[in-house]
Amino acid sequence: MSLAEPAQRSAEWIELLEPPMADERFSFEELLARYNYPLRADNKRLFTRLIHDECARREHPVRVLDIGCGQGFSRQPGFQRVIRGFADEYVGIEPDASVEPAAGVFDSVEHAVLEASALPDASIDVAYSFWVMEHVEDPTRFFRAIERVLKPGGTYLFVTLNLHHWFARLSQLADLTGMEDFLLRTFGGTPVESHYETFYRANSRRSIETAAREAGLSTPDIAYLEVFNAAQGYMGGPLRPFWYLFQIPRRIFHRPESLGTLFVRVRKD
């Protein structure tokens, strides 16, 4: 079943999500059932639609939490404004005190890590994070905080890197050798001051399922997908031939576990 459409599309929805690319109408169940490479979609657009689909299942009022809200999805606050349009209450948590979210998006913002948040117990219907879980040092403690703030029947959605993907392996190697910031500056175009420490402790099926189970959450649903050019920006100049080389196994061997991005859904029973 494809994603639900909002009864009334906001101006931000129309600007950022319309028209949908070929694979951006897939529901979470459809993503779970198919081999998602090469995915003809934008991760930000697809994830925003999945958040909307999760909210649309629920009775109003729906309270939504953005964990690691920062200044938007990849510093694009427009997607948060889209979510603002269908969330009855929209709450942000940002651990970096120097980062201020875009004005007028959230009803409230707390500068804290989720594990130390003052959010009331059982207060959130839908929580999500976008490229945050790779920075979580203690996944079980984090998921226990998720379990605490979610209402019964609540859902946590997140996007993160697959630990078993070649890019994650290269990133780990670069970090161990002390070359990660150099490589990001040289090939990735990512400012060093905005690059947070990564742990990759919740970036595989086994680690995610273990942490969720220990926190008392449901068994996670994990969809593997990869937009064809997702890591291309990090493989410029002399590294570009290697990027093309790494695509060959994905086209020949349809192994979902080899794809670069995890879309994960965890529920509180």
Q: What is the pTM of this model?
A: 0.91
Partners of 150 in the beta sheet? 124
Q: Are 222 and 208 in contact (CB under 8 A)?
A: yes
DSSP for residue 268? -
For 204-247, what is each residue's pLDDT tens digit? 999 999 999 999 999 999 999 998 655 555 666 777 787 788 88
The domains located in the chain, with CATH, are 11-267 (3.40.50.150)
Tell me the torsion sign for CA atoms 231, 235, 240, 244.
negative
Instruction: Check residue 193 and give its pLDDT.
Output: 44
Instruction: Check residue 48 and give its pLDDT.
Output: 97
Phi and psi, residue 121, nearest 5°: -65, 145
Instruction: Check residue 250 and give its pLDDT.
Output: 83
Identify which of 60, 28, 39 has the alpha carbon closest to the alpha carbon of residue 266.
28
What is the C-alpha to C-alpha distance for residues 116 and 31, in angstroms, rounded to an integer?
33
Q: In terms of DSSP H, where are the helices of the chain?
A: 11-17, 28-33, 43-56, 78-86, 139-149, 166-176, 180-183, 205-214, 240-252
Instruction: Check residue 3 and give its pLDDT.
Output: 65
Identify which of 159, 259, 258, 153 has the alpha carbon closest to the alpha carbon of residue 208.
159
Instruction: Check residue 196 and give its pLDDT.
Output: 83
Mean per-residue pLDDT pooled into runs of 10, the chain (269 residues)? 67 91 95 94 95 96 98 95 96 96 97 98 98 97 98 98 85 70 56 69 97 98 84 66 82 92 97
The full DSSP string for 71-133 is TSBTTBTHHHHHHHHH-SEEEEE-S-TT--PPTTS-SEEE-S-GGG--PPTT-EEEEEEES-G
3-state secondary structure of 218: coil
